Amino acid sequence: MKKTLRRPTFLFFSLLQPIVWFLLFTQAFQSVASIPNFSELTGTDSYLTYYSAAVVLQTIIASAMQSGIGMVTDMESGYLDKMRAAPIHRSSILIGKVTSDGFRILLQTTVILVLGAILGVTVAAGLGGVALIFIIAVLFGVAWSGISIFVGLTTRNSETTLMISLITTFPLLFLSTAVMPLALLPAWIQSVAAYNPLTYIANALQALIIRGLDWNDIGHAFLVIVLVGSVTLTATTAMFRRAVST
C-alpha cells in the first residue's frame, strides 16, 4: 500500500479511470432507459442508477487485471528478489500484494459511490448496503486478481499478461447482466450469463443500489466469491511458491 501511495501519478489515474467510465458510458447509453419495460425489469427508470453497479464491477476487474502486470514489474525490477531475501514468511509477499489490490479497489469504489451520490444515485439498502458494496467489491477483487497474478507468474511478461487478462475479463462483463438486464440480452448471451460469475456480483450490487437488501442475490454473490477465490488463489499460491523457489 505504501508503494501505491508513493506513486501519485498511478494513484491519480487509477482513481480517474472509474470517473471517466461512469460519465462516458452513462451518457453514451442513457437512452437505454427508454426501452419499453426497462423500469419494470430493473426497478429504476435511470440508466445512471442501473449502471452504477456495472462501473463498480468494471473497476474491480480492471484493478484485478493490473495485479498480474504489477507482479511482472516486481520480478523484472528485482523488487521480488528483495522481498525473497527479507526475513519474512514467503506467503506474506503474496498476501501483501493482494491486500494492496483490495486497498486500491476500496479507494476506487469510494470514488464511484461519491460521484454517484453527487449525480443523484442513492443506495436503496442504506449505510449497511454501502458497507456490503465495499465488502463485495474488495473480496471479489482479491479473488479475481488471482487470475491476473497467475498469468503474470506463468508468462513473466507484462505484454502477454495484459493481453490474456483483457481477453479473459472484459468480454465477460458484456456477457453478464452488468450492462444490460437479462431479459433484454440475446438468448445465447442469457445462457452464458447464467454461468458467468460476474452476473451474480452484478446482480448483488444492483440489488443493493436499486432494491435494497436482497439476501438471495447477496448470498449468491458471496458464494461466487468463495468459489472463484478458492480456485484462483489456490492456483496462484502454488505458482507463486514455484516462482520464489527458483
% of the chain with per-residue pLDDT over 90: 20
Q: How confident is the model at residue 4 (pLDDT cuts 50, 70, 90)?
A: low
* Spatial distance between the Cα atoms of 68 and 119, rounded to a whole number of angstroms: 33
Could you tell me the residue ranges of all domains in the chain? 47-244
pLDDT for 14 equals 66
Q: How confident is the model at residue 11 (pLDDT cuts 50, 70, 90)?
A: low
| pLDDT tens digits, one per residue of 98-113 | 888 888 888 888 888 8
Could you tell me the three cell numbers for 140?
471479489
Q: How confident is the model at residue 227 (pLDDT cuts 50, 70, 90)?
A: very high
CB 47 within 8 A of CB 33: yes
pLDDT for 82 equals 78
- For range 111-135, the mean pLDDT: 89
Write the burial class of residue 18 (CB in 10 Å: 0-12 exposed, 13-18 middle, 19+ buried). buried
* Spatial distance between the Cα atoms of 113 and 19, rounded to a whole number of angstroms: 10
Q: How confident is the model at residue 28 (pLDDT cuts 50, 70, 90)?
A: low
Residue carrying C-alpha cell 521480488 = 80
The whole model's pTM is what?
0.86
| pLDDT tens digits, one per residue of 136-182 | 999 999 898 888 888 888 888 877 888 887 777 778 888 888 888 88
Q: How confident is the model at residue 13 (pLDDT cuts 50, 70, 90)?
A: low
Collect contacts of 166-169 with beta carbons under 8 A, ≥24 apart: 166/65, 169/61, 169/62, 169/64, 169/65, 169/144
